[in-house]
A and B are shown apart, each in its own frame.
Chain A
């Protein structure tokens, strides 16, 4: 029983951090109507920024995150402004081809990081690495618990931003009807740039929170792209609440798979759920609520 409890709790904690990454992807998908296949690579770049802060200045990853987020915000803005939006100006290029562009961006980011840091596996050792809380026979990793709490705080702050501020509302309005938002005086182009920046900053935050728990190497980005993609589909594309639920679901599924089937199969569980959702709930978890 304690094992099951521990497995589920670990899954939820991990899932909360995955959700933060996926919410970034969802936000971008909502506004730009494209799946950002460079998202995991942005997570990876964010992790390296936090890693460098740790190695160079001994900055704790939770503080390094505060460096990685603005850096990735800028990187995201630059990508959207100079690459993705430029593509829209060429009429012969189909909008769907923006997705191909994000694949290219992902490859470039991965190889640039490999060029600088080589393919070596890296990890950081904080004082709390390996420390755990013991609750009723279950041991809960401190890094997971702290990461989860911070992820939830960011999710809540994002929610406030999207519902209470004019800029946040302009982002939601653009996602729901871009043309109508322009009639309201929303600068849609600026909104896309800020949205991509924001999504990238959330990716960096999620990555930094996972840094004490994961090995880091340039190709880890593809793993996060897959996870964020699965969660986005689970959550019913474009819904922030859906992404949160999707993240928790994926976290628990992976955790159960790792405990009861085998560590090597944990990703299989996530992908099987992904297939089942595509087959039976094509609009994601949201369709359960709507019915």
Chain B
């Protein structure tokens, strides 16, 4: 469904991604793991069109999206739940969710999607009229994911949904991510929580200093000597 082929991305003179290639198949839950500054968020921003690769190509559902404007990419059904949630703080929970459903296909089904999101995150229904900025960290993350789901995405990209959450909440968020994937949505999950994520993803990629150093089934990666040493401390 998503094919990233040999992309290079730089911030000025600083090379952020070097020859990165990865693939996400329809219905898969793929994890992209790595340390801080490895280039995980850069990869997602490039897919979303916020950053432009200097070389390489990105293909989504058979269409070349490398040079498309960000809003056109979103309209194709790629939802990006950014790092740090990036909610609209002065808008209510409901308004934030409705902002998620701008593309025409999603707009028509706003009511149903809202019910679906509320069934996944009941707490959001209780806070419907509250400004998003007044929610707790966990609730904000749920709202951010819910807002992404409102666009009825074909591909959901999550950038560190566990960041800054208590361990109990992290577990809950990951369960929701698996549930979303079970309902048929393709997920590309970026995480630093390597151990937990590799356990439940279908496949994973390891990003180091802007390069993909490993790729394979989640369980295979967990048993890899390099992963064990660098990320799991075993």
Which residues of A have CB within 8 Å of B102? 166, 170, 184-186
CB interface residues, B 186-214, toward A, < 8 Å: none
Q: Is B98 an interface residue (CB 8 A)?
A: yes
Q: Is the CB of A180 within 8 A of B82?
A: yes
B6 to chain A, nearest CB (A): 25
Q: Is the CB of A183 within 8 A of B88?
A: no
SS of A interface (majority):
helix
Q: Is the CB of A176 within 8 A of B89?
A: yes
Instruction: Encode B29-54 as 1/0 by CB contact (under 8 A) with A.
Output: 00000000000000000001110000
Q: Is A182 an interface residue (CB 8 A)?
A: yes
A185 to chain B, nearest CB (A): 4
Q: Is the CB of A180 within 8 A of B87?
A: yes
CB interface residues, B 61-92, toward A, < 8 Å: 69-71, 74-75, 79-82, 86-91
Q: Is the CB of A187 within 8 A of B88?
A: no
Q: Is the CB of B98 within 8 A of A169?
A: yes
A177 to B86, CA, bound (A): 7
Q: How many A-B residue pairs have CB under 8 A?
A: 64
B89 to chain A, nearest CB (A): 6
Q: Is the CB of B95 within 8 A of A185?
A: no
Interface size on A, residues (CB 8 A): 18
Q: Which of A172, A183, A185 is within 8 Å of B91, CB to CB?
A: A172
Q: Is B100 an interface residue (CB 8 A)?
A: yes
Which residues of A have CB within 8 Å of B162? none
> Which of A185, A186, A189 counts the most B-chain CB atoms under 10 A from its CB?
A185
A236 to B2, CA, bound (A): 44
Q: Beyond A169-B91, A184-B99, A185-B102, is A179–B86 a contact (Cβ under 8 Å)?
A: yes
Q: Which of A172, A177, A180, A188 is within 8 Å of B71, CB to CB?
A: A188
Which residues of B have CB within 8 Å of A182? 48-50, 70-71, 74
Query: What are 30 A-B pairs at a CB distance below 8 A?
Result: A166-B107, A169-B98, A172-B91, A173-B91, A176-B89, A176-B91, A177-B86, A177-B89, A179-B86, A180-B82, A180-B86, A180-B88, A181-B88, A181-B99, A182-B49, A182-B50, A182-B70, A182-B71, A182-B74, A183-B48, A183-B70, A183-B79, A183-B81, A183-B82, A183-B86, A184-B74, A184-B151, A185-B151, A187-B71, A188-B70
6 A-B pairs with least C-beta separation: A185-B74, A180-B86, A182-B70, A187-B71, A183-B80, A176-B88
